Amino acid sequence: MTNQVIAGELLKAGWLASDIIEALAAHPPRFSREKPAGTPKSQDDYLGGQATAVTIEVKNIKKYFGPVKALDDVSLTVKAGTVLALLGPNGAGKTTLVRILTTLLKPDSGRAVVGGFDVVRQTNELRSVIGLTGQFAAIDNILTGRENIELVGQLYHLFGHEAKRRARLLLEQFDLVAAADRPAKTYSGGMKRRLDLAASLVGRPKILFLDEPTTGLDPQSRNRLWQLVKDLVAQGTTVLLTTQQMDEAEHLADRIIVIDHGRIIAQGTAVELKRQVGGDVLEIHLADHQWTEEAARRVAQLGIGTPRADKAVGKVSLPISGGAAVLTDAVRILDNSGIKIADVALHRPSLDDVFLALTGHKAEQTV
Amino acid sequence: MNMQPIDNLIDAALWSISDIMVMTKRNLLGYLRLPQLIVFSTIQPVMFVLLFAYVFGGAIQTPGFDYINYLIPGIMVQTVLFGAMMTGVGLANDIAQGMIDRFRSLPMSRAAVLAGRTISDLCRNIFVVLLMALVGYLIGFRYQNGLGNFIGAMGLTVLFAFAFSWISATIGLWVKNVETAQSAGFIWVFPLAFVSSIFVPVETMPSWLQGFANNQPISATVNAVRALSLGGPAGDWGLKALLWIIGILIIFVPLAVRQYRKVA
């Protein structure tokens, strides 16, 4: 019978604990003696806040998954208030780096500091100054949009009323007011991404990580998300984003780092990267594709690099430095040779050209 | 004297409790908004009760008891056991939805995701147990041992489920996939449930099986719950059940936490 008594006592203790939990639930905790780290002092500055001294510093980070070198000695820095784009194909190591910088993964070697906090030793402090929007919208489909943001707010250790207030503001800012009290599973892809980003911002992160934020979105939703990111940057948030899309990097980033097979293969502004492949490119489309290689040979002398012949589409691309004069020369040479031209154009290289020149393969294709 | 470190520690502890409550509430909202989960996880045990009571019941000899009285305490434990296996499925689903990544990037307590999940499953099991008690009453089951022992029986049942939730959590975080968590979670539970005193007296099994059946946690819990419900000596079985529960928690709470940190 004594064991029955013990069981009874245990049960009583259980009920007592549940009473305490319920009491705490009814009266939101007011125990913090200081504001949680990461909360800006002023309530007026809505997002981002002051980001003066905050940077990201990565030194010689390595991360291997078995024989795969996901990150092979990567070093980089991001200045406060700027946007860095990590550009590379699937499997280049972009997401691995983001996961290390957001404390989800430990590096094998090397050091990284985010917002003044070490990614291995000061994880909790670090987590209170960052926001993360992953490759797939991390939202609870059963909860409403509002509840999703409030949930993350409470886990950033905001008091209930403050989490509610910020959720309301973010829903307005992200144009989700009409859908705020619908379950998130009824949201469109673009709305889910916006909700995901809004939830990442409820803790007012100084540093925001966006892992392929617009992959799979239609152009309109993509533009909308770009604008939201630009607004955040204008308010002082530092952003590190990964992307496979050249135009996204060019559109949003102050600096671009091209990464392939876990290594940094180029970095600079979009303009600087374009310069690396030799300035202007002359593109000649031929009426008859079988003459592509012959045409490339004949115009090669006009360029400052080797011409590329793409027989499948009948296109010759030639890096040049002479501008329009070269274009007329090329037309004359091909005309004299009897090779018919369908179209001819002079253009600055796109980042696609840059990537192709740097890696030998296109950015969108999986390696 | 500088009280700052102690203050910080108290702060951290209180925030942990707050995090656990926030996570528990989130999971319970999920259960409330997907009532089909509770409906179907209730229909299943009711079906078991009816099948065993009216199909097999006549063929099973339970000396000293009506079979329905013998069966209901066992079915209670079986129901919360199967319910506890949903813990791992829920966690695997959170991994699949990217929620675990989100939580791990927040400055919240590391224990809160697991504690919130197991506690919300505990709440769900309390609800299911009370519902089963009602269903049992409707088909003729009668508690015969007073309110205190009734509460003791219910308490032991949900504590047992809480311990098994942590085993399930470890499995769910290990396999990381909803479907695999579902099958991996149940496949080892079935033989454990049937080679126990849930449905039949262990004495009717071959002697080589009796040793296993008598010493495993399910039988210990079922025998204690049965004795608490119907009268009879519950002490030794209750102690054995509590030791199993404590042992499982000591092993599987750290294992689950370790697995949670490794999810990447």
Better-scored residue on pLDDT, B102 or A30: B102
Better-scored residue on pLDDT, B261 or B1: B261
pLDDT in tens, B197-249: 888 888 888 888 888 888 899 998 998 988 888 877 778 888 988 999 999 99
User: What's residue A37's pLDDT?
Assistant: 43
User: What's residue A274's pLDDT?
Assistant: 76
User: What's residue B2's pLDDT?
Assistant: 61
- Residues 43-102 of chain A whose Cβ lies under 8 A from any Cβ of chain B: 99, 102
For B34, nearest residue in chain A (alpha carbons): A142
User: What's residue A51's pLDDT?
Assistant: 41
Q: Which residues contact B113 (CB under 8 A, 6 or more apart)?
A: B23, B91, B94, B100, B103, B260
Mean local confidence (pLDDT), B38-59: 80
Put simply, whether A151 touches B (Cβ < 8 Å) is: yes
pLDDT above 90 covers what percent of chain B?
32
**Pick among 3.40.50.720, 3.30.70.100, 3.40.50.800, 1.10.760.10: CATH of A278-348:** 3.30.70.100
In A, which residues are within 8 Å of B99 by CB distance?
138-140
Cβ distance A105 to B152 less than 8 Å, yes or no, reads no
For B260, nearest residue in chain A (alpha carbons): A104
Asked if residue B205 lies in contact with residue B219, where contact means CB atoms within 8 angstroms, the answer is no
Q: How confident is the model at residue A34 (pLDDT cuts 50, 70, 90)?
A: very low
User: What's residue A364's pLDDT?
Assistant: 55
pLDDT above 70 covers what percent of chain B?
98
From A3, A99, A134, residue closest to B235, measured CB to CB? A3
pLDDT above 90 covers what percent of chain A?
41
Domain map (residue ranges) of chain B:
4-262
**Distance (Å) from the C-alpha of residue A305 to the closest C-alpha of chain B?**
45
β-bridge partners, A308: A317
For residues A261 and B74, give the distance between their C-alpha atoms in angstroms, rounded to a whole number.
57
- Res B132 pLDDT > 50: yes
Q: How confident is the model at residue A23 (pLDDT cuts 50, 70, 90)?
A: very low
For residues B264 and B255, give the distance between their C-alpha atoms in angstroms, rounded to a whole number.
16
**Distance (Å) from the C-alpha of residue A219 to the closest C-alpha of chain B?**
24
- Res A154 pLDDT > 50: yes
User: What's residue A15's pLDDT?
Assistant: 47
- Res A109 pLDDT > 90: yes
Residue of B34, B99, B102 to mutate, interface with A, max A Cβ within 10 Å: B102
Q: Name, of A310-314, B38-42, B55-59, the range with top average pLDDT.
A: A310-314
Q: Name, of A51-65, A186-200, B37-51, the range with top average pLDDT.
A: A186-200
Cβ distance B98 to A155 less than 8 Å, yes or no, reads no
Mean local confidence (pLDDT), A344-356: 77
User: What's residue B148's pLDDT?
Assistant: 84
Mean local confidence (pLDDT), A250-271: 90
Neighbours of B62 (CB within 10 A): 16
Put simply, whether A160 touches B (Cβ < 8 Å) is: no
User: What's residue B146's pLDDT?
Assistant: 81
Cβ distance B235 to A8 less than 8 Å, yes or no, reads no
Mean local confidence (pLDDT), A142-156: 95
- Res A35 pLDDT > 50: no
Cβ distance B26 to A151 less than 8 Å, yes or no, reads yes
* Angle (nearest 5°) at CA B184 between B183 and B186: 65
Domain map (residue ranges) of chain A:
56-274, 278-348
Q: Which residues contact B94 (CB under 8 A, 6 or more apart)?
A: B100, B103, B113, B117
A56-274: which CATH topology? Answer: Rossmann fold (3.40.50)
Mean local confidence (pLDDT), A248-258: 91
Contact pairs from chain A to chain B, CB under 8 Å: 128
For B232, nearest residue in chain A (alpha carbons): A1
**Distance (Å) from the C-alpha of residue A88 to the closest C-alpha of chain B?**
21
User: What's residue A31's pLDDT?
Assistant: 43
Question: Could you tell me if the ipTM is greater than 0.90?
Answer: no
Instruction: Using alpha carbons, select from B19, B211, B44 the residue that is nearest to residue A154.
Output: B19
pLDDT in tens, A323-344: 778 888 888 898 888 888 888 8
For residues B11 and B130, give the distance between their C-alpha atoms in angstroms, rounded to a whole number.
36
Least confident of A22-26, A112-116, A120-124, B109-113: A22-26
pLDDT in tens, A274-325: 777 666 788 899 888 888 888 888 888 888 878 888 888 889 988 887 677 8
Q: How confident is the model at residue B256 (pLDDT cuts 50, 70, 90)?
A: very high
Q: How confident is the model at residue A83 (pLDDT cuts 50, 70, 90)?
A: very high
**Distance (Å) from the C-alpha of residue B149 to the closest C-alpha of chain A?**
7
Mean local confidence (pLDDT), B168-196: 88
Within this chain, domains A56-274 and A278-348 share the same CATH topology: no
In B, which residues are within 8 Å of A24 by CB distance?
17-18, 21
Mean pLDDT over the full length of chain A: 82
Q: What's the 3-state SS for chain B?
A: CCCHHHHHHHHHHHHHHHHHHHHHHHHHHHHHHCHHHHHHHHHHHHHHHHHHHHHHHHHCCCCCCCHHHHHHHHHHHHHHHHHHCHHHHHHHHHHHCCHHHHHHCCCCCCCHHHHHHHHHHHHHHHHHHHHHHHHHHHCCCCCCCHHHHHHHHHHHHHHHHHHHHHHHHHHHHHHCCHHHHHHHHHHCHHHHHHCCCCCCCHHHCCHHHHHHHHHCHHHHHHHHHHHHHHCCCCHHHHHHHHHHHHHHHHHHHHHHHHHHHHCC
Put simply, whether A8 touches B (Cβ < 8 Å) is: yes
Mean local confidence (pLDDT), B37-41: 74
> How many residues in chain A?
367
Mean local confidence (pLDDT), A131-152: 92
Better-scored residue on pLDDT, B195 or A256: A256
